[in-house]
Amino acid sequence: MGFFIGVERNVKIYVEDINPSGNKTILFIHGWPGNHNLFEYQFNQLPKVGYRCIGIDCRGFGLSDRPWTGYDYNRLSDDIRSVVHALRLKNFILGGHSTGGAICVRYMARHNGYGVSKLALFAAAAPSLIQRPYFPYGLQKQAVINIIQGIYTDRPKALRDFGNMIFYNPVSKPLSYWIFQLGLQAASWSTAAIANTWLGEEGLFYDLKTIKVPTLILHGINDQVCLYPLAVSQKNSIKNSKLVPFEACGHFLFYDQRERFNSELIQFIEE
């Protein structure tokens, strides 16, 4: 069941609510530059074991509205809060991939984890996607600048190049093309704006330390986008957390190793 929820004046977010009568709820936040459809292979399986799965398209992506502004982590986490309020969600599991994971971290800090019983981070872009003087573990800043320049000059090529980084294990050309098309559905300005957010000082180092709920961290050892040391930093910062490394696995771990991914997530939900 798909519908739209207003998050601020003239801005609506698309929401897909699968198995609304499920006994436990998982709210999924996608990464850049996709949309909720990236979790297709979770939406196919998790409702079979009784879960309610909710996927949203972040503003500027998928079917959601595409305002010119509002692509910092504060506003994006406020959008989640609006969805949580509209759907009256309580005791739900919040899960985020890549930049979606960073948005979830900000939600936990900015909104005191409102309604969240457990947090799951999938190859999350936290505490920082790029290297900094005090954090030498991310991508080089120039790599992100190159992505942004590519979006403004040849967005299809930039997305193709990104697509070549996300898998460790080979995937079919149709699957690769499908993910590429999901990226093209986003507005070019929102695609660039999110990438610019990676360069800013978003303060996720502090945000991680505010998280108090049980947290699952799933991360591919061979991730070329959000490098594995990010997961170690998350584990060291979140007191009640569990890190599960995925061997022979890249950034899109929910495809690279989808059976194990789903199994680990279900086990965490049932604990």
CA 74 to chain centre: 15
- The answer to whether residue 78 scores a pLDDT higher than 90 is yes
Instruction: Please answer whether residues 64 and 14 qualify as being in contact, where contact means their C-beta atoms are separated by less than 8 angstroms.
Output: yes
Residue 47's pLDDT is what?
Answer: 98
Q: pLDDT band for position 119 (50/70/90)? A: very high
Our answer to whether residue 251 is catalytic in this structure is: yes
pTM: 0.97
Instruction: Please answer whether residues 138 and 102 qualify as being in contact, where contact means their C-beta atoms are separated by less than 8 angstroms.
Output: no
pLDDT over 70 percentage in the chain: 100
57, 77, 79, 98: the catalytic one is: 98
26 φ, ψ (degrees, to nearest 5): -120, 125
Residue 200's pLDDT is what?
Answer: 86
State how far the Cα of 234 lies from the Cα of 116, in Å rounded to an integer: 18
pLDDT over 90 percentage in the chain: 98
Our answer to whether residue 78 is catalytic in this structure is: no
Our answer to whether residue 256 is catalytic in this structure is: no
- The answer to whether residue 9 scores a pLDDT higher than 90 is yes
Q: If you average pLDDT over residues 44-63, what whole number do you get?
A: 98
Residue 171's pLDDT is what?
Answer: 95
- What kind of architecture, by CATH, is found in domain 2-270? 3-Layer(aba) Sandwich (3.40)
Label each residue of 66-87 as H, E or C: CCCCCCCHHHHHHHHHHHHHHH
57, 65, 223, 256: the catalytic one is: 223
Tell me the two tokens of residue 141.
């800043």
36, 190, 251, 256: the catalytic one is: 251
- The answer to whether residue 203 scores a pLDDT higher than 80 is no
Q: If you average pLDDT over residues 170-177, what whole number do you get?
A: 96
Residue 209's pLDDT is what?
Answer: 97
